[in-house]
A and B are shown apart, each in its own frame.
Chain A
Amino acid sequence: MRNRKTTLIGAVAMGILLLGACAQGTDGGDAEFGGDLEAAELTLMGFSDPDEIGQTRWDIADAAIYPAHVRPSEGGFDIQAFLAANSAGNPPDLIYFNRGDFIGTLASLGAIMPLDACIAAEGINLDDFNQAALAQVTFNEQIFGVPEFNQVQLTMANGDLLAAAGLTLNDVNGSDWERMTVANEALHVVEGGRLAVIGIDSRIPEHFPLWVVSNGGQLVSDDGRTAMIDTPEVLEALEFALSLMDGNNGFADVMSLRDAADFWGEGNQFATNAMGAFTMEQWYMNVLMGATPDIPLAVSPFMSRQTGQPIAFSTGSSWAIPVGAENPAAACRFIANMVEVDSWMAAAQVRADRIAGEGGVFTGLLTANTTADRAIRDAFIVPSGSAVWDSAIAAMYTAADHHFFMPPLPADQEFRQAWVDSVNRVLQGTMTARDSLAQGQAEAQRALDEGWARMEDRD
């Protein structure tokens, strides 16, 4: 009986060890790039349902890796699915995801390959790239991803409401917080105890980093080792962004009214005069152009309170190759072709043709490839005949020259959760700004310390 028990326990222990071994990632990292490719079907996670910009480049990149071929994926990047595939020893050949979400963590855990050799072998010209975007995929002095798109946040305002209140874009674009407070008061409307028009929506927590950098602060040190969530600059930024919410009858009312708008359609908040001004990513101009091309939109780069210069937080997608990928050479060539200047130009041509056929305005493209951006702007951006859209496009390109970024961290998500929750607690009134940021600082620093220690242990 005792022997049977011992055998059973031994079998269970062995099973656990075996499963544990299965769960380990392979060391990898020594993949060879360049040269001739073999016929194979590459697997991909995170890139699906491309528009003409994605599809055109996909066709070019897929042809470039012949006789290999990339099988299209379904749905966006799902970290749970990726981890499951990785644990089963069957990671995809390519992953495509928001570079700010996981790249530092996946790199620190050894789940994705450094791509320096890939970049050299395929002749990807790093000088073409936006340096903020490139910095976001550079961890421990190695490049772990190839950035694709790049976004900027802009101040978008309702020109009619501004004019009616005797205001200009300079009153709402972030450069002068005192003027913003006055403008917020002038623009917002409360009817029957409920907010009817949002004056200025500070869009926190999403755009909190904008307000922090505008005020001369930052959320993490440049080396990614020290959280800086509870500094006076951050506290002041949070209190100001919150005061804009409070001036609009409180965050709950702002959020409810924002959610109630037909964000993607003809009943959007500018068309219905329900929004004075807010910060928003540049792609929303395309939505507005498609749904309501005649709205009185006024667009400006978001301006730094401290320097008076435009600022924008670099965000966007990125390609990476998991450790253990079966066809890293083909994956690398596919990526190189997806982000090449010629591919972007071909894609822009297709979109410009489509929009011209529909009688619309091509609002440009913001990629992580600055050379491509310039070439597209030179080739396809022409005066549209609409001062509104021409100035909006100009504002977008101006903002694109003034990116800041958050470095990749070994605890990307935990760090982000720490500062997002700090802001949320204040928005929901469950904690004072000072206390909440102090708690966030402790949580963020602990996450960073443990993340770096985990990586160093692994090394």
Chain B
Amino acid sequence: MSVSTIEGVPGVSPGTPVSPEKRRLRLTTKRRNLIAAMLFISPWLFGFLVFTVWPMIYSFYLSLTNFDNINAPRFVGLENYQRMMEDPRIPRTLSNTFQFAIMSVPLSLIVALLLALLLHKATMGTGFFRTTFFLPRMTPPVAVGVLFLLLFNGHQGLINQLLGLFGVNGPNWTVDPFWVRPGLVLMSLWTVGGTSLILLAALKDVPKELYESARVDGAGALRQFWSVTLPLISPQIFFVFIVNTIGALQTFSEAYTAFFGGGADAFRNEGALFYSIHLFEMAFRNFRMGYASAMAWVLFVIIMIITGIQWAVSKRMVFYSGDS
């Protein structure tokens, strides 16, 4: 006669199903954790629902109405979207906005990266320089708009005076519709400090051993940057690229202050008429909130598509250190 021993928890036979009571207890614990988590994030969730989700739903409803901001919205179906097809300002403002974004996003990224690399290499006064680079970020956009008019004035602006030192007769940045967007792009570099700090944090996170290994393998500074630095900070570059793209497509304050915030019959530089400015004017100057809501939804879809493309492309170009 043989005796067999059974391993396991005393009193519980292996293979015996957990009793429903215990499962309930375990589920209850899970649920309790979930409730605790939900309670912790509920302030944010509440804000998200009230200040983001609900306005989005309501704006979509408004986009299907004729709403003048005063009287009750009147349902008109897709009329606002159809009307956008006939509005000559839609293609113009979209073109202005895309041109601005195409110029400003890569340029701001490059400048921010160069500043971050400088800060990374700096051995003295790093705190001072970090603060200095970030300070312009604190400047109100309205002030930046006014600064733009002063710095880029064709006659006495600092930019043209500097160009004059090199014998270059600078353009009328603030008036010429061709030069106004490049001018605004250059001005947008004023606030590149925020992006620089994000990239600086990423640079500081790159393991030093990798550089040492690369040096041992005979890699020069450029090769190290290309093969070590860039791949390892690519997630952060991708992040700021997406955020800056969205910001550029929604650009408003600086151009509005500089060119559209004056009297209604003052000169308006059409080269700076961005999509968001047109949207704002339709909503609050022309009392066409329904149409403006439709414009907002079209911009949202455009941004989603562009972000989707960026996301798809990023899979080949962004390196996450946790990936296999």
**A contact residues vs B (CB 8 Å cutoff):** 12, 15-16, 19-21, 23-25, 79-80, 83, 86-87, 101, 105-106, 109-111, 192-195, 205-206, 208, 251-253, 255-257, 259-260, 411, 413-414, 416-417, 420-421, 424-425, 427-430, 439, 447, 454, 458
4 additional A-B pairs beyond A109-B71, A195-B155, A420-B265, beta carbons within 8 Å, are: A109-B287, A252-B154, A413-B286, A424-B270
The residue on A at minimum CB distance from B154 is A256
B73 interfacial contact with A, CB 8 Å: yes
B-side binding surface: helix, strand, loop or mixed? Answer: loop
State whether A255 touches B172 (Cβ < 8 A): yes
State whether B264 touches A427 (Cβ < 8 A): no
Complex Cα distance A21/B71, Å? 9
Shortest beta-carbon distance, A222 to chain B, in Å? 20
State whether A251 touches B67 (Cβ < 8 A): no
**B contact residues vs A (CB 8 Å cutoff):** 54, 57-58, 61, 67-73, 88, 149, 153-157, 169, 172, 174-177, 263-271, 281, 284-287
Known: A253-B172, A256-B153. A83 touches B270 (CB 8 A): no
**B263 interface neighbour in A79, A105, A206, A454, Cβ under 8 Å:** A206
Q: List the 5 shortest-distance A-B pairs measured between CB atoms, nearest first.
A: A256-B154, A252-B172, A252-B175, A260-B155, A260-B156
Complex Cα distance A424/B177, Å? 10
State whether B264 touches A25 (Cβ < 8 A): no
State whether B286 touches A256 (Cβ < 8 A): no
Shortest beta-carbon distance, A264 to chain B, in Å? 14
Contacts of A458 in B (CB 8 A): 71
Complex Cα distance A75/B58, Å? 30
Contacts of A111 in B (CB 8 A): 70
**B286 interface neighbour in A12, A25, A205, A414, Cβ under 8 Å:** A414
The residue on A at minimum CB distance from B164 is A192
State whether B264 touches A416 (Cβ < 8 A): yes
Contacts of B175 in A (CB 8 A): 251-252, 255-256, 428
State whether A205 touches B266 (Cβ < 8 A): yes
Contacts of A195 in B (CB 8 A): 155
Complex Cα distance A428/B174, Å? 12
State whether A256 touches B155 (Cβ < 8 A): yes
Known: A256-B174, A260-B156, A430-B177. A417 touches B73 (CB 8 A): no
State whether B265 touches A80 (Cβ < 8 A): no
Shortest beta-carbon distance, A435 to chain B, in Å? 12
State whether B70 touches A83 (Cβ < 8 A): yes
The residue on B at minimum CB distance from A254 is B175
Contacts of A194 in B (CB 8 A): 154-155, 169
The residue on A at minimum CB distance from B281 is A417
Shortest beta-carbon distance, A303 to chain B, in Å? 21
Shortest beta-carbon distance, A78 to chain B, in Å? 9
State whether B269 touches A193 (Cβ < 8 A): no
Which of B57, B266, B286: most chain A Cβ within 10 A?
Answer: B286
**B72 interface neighbour in A23, A79, A256, A257, Cβ under 8 Å:** A23
Known: A255-B172, A255-B175, A260-B153. A454 touches B270 (CB 8 A): no
Complex Cα distance A257/B172, Å? 10
Shortest beta-carbon distance, A371 to chain B, in Å? 29
Contacts of B61 in A (CB 8 A): 16
Known: A252-B172, A420-B264, A425-B270. A25 touches B71 (CB 8 A): yes
**A417 interface neighbour in B88, B284, B286, Cβ under 8 Å:** B286
State whether B270 touches A430 (Cβ < 8 A): yes
- 11 A–B contact pairs at CB < 8 A? A20-B73, A80-B284, A206-B266, A252-B176, A257-B155, A260-B157, A413-B285, A413-B286, A417-B264, A421-B270, A424-B270
The residue on A at minimum CB distance from B286 is A414
Contacts of A87 in B (CB 8 A): 69
State whether A24 touches B71 (Cβ < 8 A): yes
Which of B58, B149, B157, B175: most chain A Cβ within 10 A?
Answer: B175
The residue on A at minimum CB distance from B57 is A12
Complex Cα distance A255/B154, Å? 9
Complex Cα distance A339/B271, Å? 42
Complex Cα distance A419/B138, Å? 38
Shortest beta-carbon distance, A450 to chain B, in Å? 9
Contacts of B154 in A (CB 8 A): 194, 252-253, 256-257, 260
Contacts of B268 in A (CB 8 A): 420-421, 424
Contacts of A424 in B (CB 8 A): 267-270
Shortest beta-carbon distance, A227 to chain B, in Å? 15
Which of B69, B169, B176: most chain A Cβ within 10 A?
Answer: B69
Contacts of A260 in B (CB 8 A): 153-157
Shortest beta-carbon distance, A145 to chain B, in Å? 16
